[in-house]
Amino acid sequence: MKIIRRLSIILISIIIIGFIYTGYKIRGNVQQVIKYEDQVAAAAEANGIAEYKELILAIIYTESKGRSADLMQSSESVYGQQAVIDDPQESIEYGVKFLAESIQKNKEAGNDLWTAVQAYNFGLEYIRFVQERGGKNTVALSEEYSKEFLSPLLGNSDGETYPYYRFQSVFHNGGFLYKNGGNMFYADIVKMNRQFIQWFS
């Protein structure tokens, strides 16, 4: 019994230390991201989406944790290839502009906000896809779009997957994404990261 009790204490201690370490890392990432709060606020105001400042910060957290010059990973949507933008301000300007377009088109379609967020990862065509299927983003819909539309469009006609171990993916499918299919968990991850922004900023 003493051995079992000791092992239980060790296990609980490891779990507690793990939570503390994870919280410390998250807090550090949030502090890095909010360094760009003023620039994000200005860009959001300029594009008519001032009320979405926290959401934009959560997207930055998701895309780069504030530790890459291309904070919002805007290069691909602007230039058609990755790692072209090397100025955080330029990344914010293009990223916020694209998000504003996504939010506007999504409002016109009558969808929920998280469809617009998922469309930031998938592209604007996803908005129509969701509109035709009830107007609410779900992981099931984003998986269907990733597997049946986006992946084949970008050359993955065989449904090839690759490992992706995040909380959301492990519980949904054991931890994978479709090759060339974007991130079907993107909206849920941004939602979680927005909560981190609220807790730690």
Q: What is the b/e burial string over 141-159, where b = at least 16 CB atoms within 10 angstroms of the residue's CB?
A: bbbebbbebbbeeeebeee
- Least confident interval from 19-28, 67-76, 119-128, 160-169: 19-28
- State mean pLDDT over 16-23: 80
Alpha-carbon span 176 to 178, nearest angstrom: 7
Where along the chain do its domains lie? 2-200
User: What architecture is domain 2-200?
Assistant: Orthogonal Bundle (1.10)
From CA 104, how far away is CA 77, in angstroms rounded?
A: 17
Q: Rounded mean pLDDT of 12-40? A: 88
Query: Residue 12 has which token pair?
Result: 């609980």
**CA 121 to CA 136: how far, in whole Å?**
16
Looking up tokens 């620039």 gives 39
Q: Which amino acid is at 17?
A: I
pLDDT tens digits, 29-88: 999 999 999 999 999 999 999 999 999 999 999 999 999 999 999 988 777 777 789 999
DSSP letter at 149 equals I
- The rounded distance, in Å, linking the Cα atoms of 64 and 174 is 24
